[in-house]
């Protein structure tokens, strides 16, 4: 699983079933670990923001064909943040409906109670300054997705912010969780 997609696609997926999505714009703010680096190996990243990640924007546009966006590298060790703008096809949900869908979403990993699966996959925060990298990236052992700042938008229907741990929820943890799911579903029998 793509680590940048893990910061926002889980928030869009449960909405899509009841409220088909027409268009999405996402800007991701990605940790340096997503480049396979640390502050020790990439000192020019300290106290800096790099507004370009080679190949990432093209990859983000090709993988989920409905999405358009921009990818920016930011000076945090782990945690990808996504600023999401979404427009729905016909019927627009209320903010309360969206939050209710997020808070009550349970995927197959939760249904099977898989060892690496977060008990609650999506967490919505009402505080205007959340989610934050330091306080939310390790939520549910780094396997949950944090959502906040849901509000109406002037060009899209809504905008909100999502956060995930790019290593634990992304590539490494995502691979472990997928292996657990395949085993639970009998694919290794």
Q: Which residues are catalytic?
A: 3, 80
CA nearest neighbour of 126 among 157, 104, 105, 99? 99
- Whose tokens are 């943040």? That residue is 81
Structure tokens at 15: 């909405």
H or E segment to which residue 182 belongs: helix 172-184
Question: Which DSSP string corresponds to 77-138?
Answer: SS-EEEEEEEEESSPPPPHHHHHHHHHH---HHHHTT-TTS-SSSEEEE-STT-S-HHHHTT
DSSP H helical segments within 19-66, as ranges?
56-62
CB 143 within 8 A of CB 168: yes
Enumerate the β-bridge partners of residue 124. Answer: 147
Backbone CA torsion sign across 15, 134, 2, 51 = positive
């Amino acid at each position: 699983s793509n680590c940048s997609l893990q910061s926002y696609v889980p928030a869009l997926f449960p909405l899509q079933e009841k409220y088909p999505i027409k268009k999405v714009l996402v800007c991701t703010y990605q940790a340096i670990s997503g480049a396979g680096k640390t502050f020790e190996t990439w000192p020019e990243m300290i106290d800096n923001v790099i507004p370009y990640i080679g190949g990432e924007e093209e990859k983000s546009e090709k993988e989920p064909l409905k999405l358009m966006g921009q990818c920016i590298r930011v000076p945090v060790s782990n945690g990808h943040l996504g600023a999401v703008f979404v427009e729905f096809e016909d019927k627009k949900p209320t903010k309360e409906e969206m939050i209710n869908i997020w808070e009550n979403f349970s995927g197959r990993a939760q249904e099977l109670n898989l060892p690496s699966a977060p008990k609650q996959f999506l967490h919505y925060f009402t505080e205007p300054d959340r989610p934050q990298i330091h306080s939310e990236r390790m939520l549910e052992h780094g396997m949950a997705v944090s959502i906040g700042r849901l509000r109406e938008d002037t060009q899209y229907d809504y905008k909100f912010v999502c956060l995930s741990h790019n290593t634990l929820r992304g590539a490494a943890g995502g691979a472990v969780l997928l292996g657990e799911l395949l085993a639970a579903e009998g694919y290794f029998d």
